[in-house]
A and B are shown apart, each in its own frame.
Chain A
Amino acid sequence: MPSETVLNIHGIVKQFGKIKAVNKLQLEVKTAQIFGILGPNGSGKTTTLSMILGLIQPNQGSFEWFGQPLSPAILKRIGSILETPLFYPYLNAIDNLKIIADIKETTYDEIPELLRMTGLFERRHDAFRTYSLGMKQRLAIAAAMIGNPDVLILDEPTNGLDPQGIADIRAMILTIAKQGKTIILASHLLDEVQKICTHVAVLQKGVCLYSGSVEAIGGDGVLLEVSAEDTDLLEKEIQSCAWTRLHEQRNGILKVQLEKAYTPADLNAYLIEKGVRVNHLNTAKKSLETHFLELLKQQA
Chain B
Amino acid sequence: MKRLGLITFRKLFKSRVFWIMLSLYVLSLSGMLFGVESFVNKIAGDASRNSPIPIPDFSLYQFPYVWHNLSYLAGFLKVFPALILIVFVAAEYSYRTNRLQIMMGLSRGEYFVTQGLIILALVLISVLILAMWVLIQGFLHSTELSLISIADKSYFMAAYALEIMAFLSFALLIVTMLRRSGLSIVTFLVAYYVIEPIIRFYVPEVVAINLPFKRIGSMIDVPNSSLMQLFGLNFKTYIEYQDLIVVLLYTLLFLGISYWIIRKRNL
Contact = CB atoms under 8 A, between A and B. Distances in A.
Interface of A: 50, 53-57, 72-73, 75-76, 78, 80, 82, 84, 86-91, 95, 98-100, 102-105, 143
Interface of B: 3, 6-7, 10-11, 14-17, 95-97, 99-107, 110, 266-267
B266 A91 contact: no
A86 B102 contact: no
B99 A82 contact: yes
16 contacts: A53-B103, A55-B267, A75-B104, A76-B105, A78-B103, A86-B97, A86-B100, A87-B97, A88-B15, A88-B95, A88-B97, A91-B15, A95-B14, A103-B101, A103-B104, A103-B106
A75 B105 CA distance: 5
A104 B101 CA distance: 9
B101 to A, nearest CB: 6
Q: What are the 3 A-B residue pairs with the smallest beta carbon separation, nearest first?
A: A76-B105, A75-B105, A56-B266
A20 to B, nearest CB: 16
Main secondary structure of the interface of A (DSSP, over half): loop
B99 A99 contact: no
Contacts of B266: 50, 55-57
A72 B106 contact: yes
A89 B94 CA distance: 11
A99 B3 contact: no
Contacts of B11: 88, 91, 99
Contacts of B10: 91, 95, 98-99, 102
A143 B101 CA distance: 11
Given A90-B16, A102-B3, A80 B97 contact: no
Given A95-B14, A105-B3, A143-B104, 6 more contacts: A54-B102, A75-B103, A88-B95, A91-B11, A91-B14, A99-B7
A105 B3 CA distance: 8
A104 B103 contact: no
Nearest to A77: B105
A87 B100 CA distance: 8
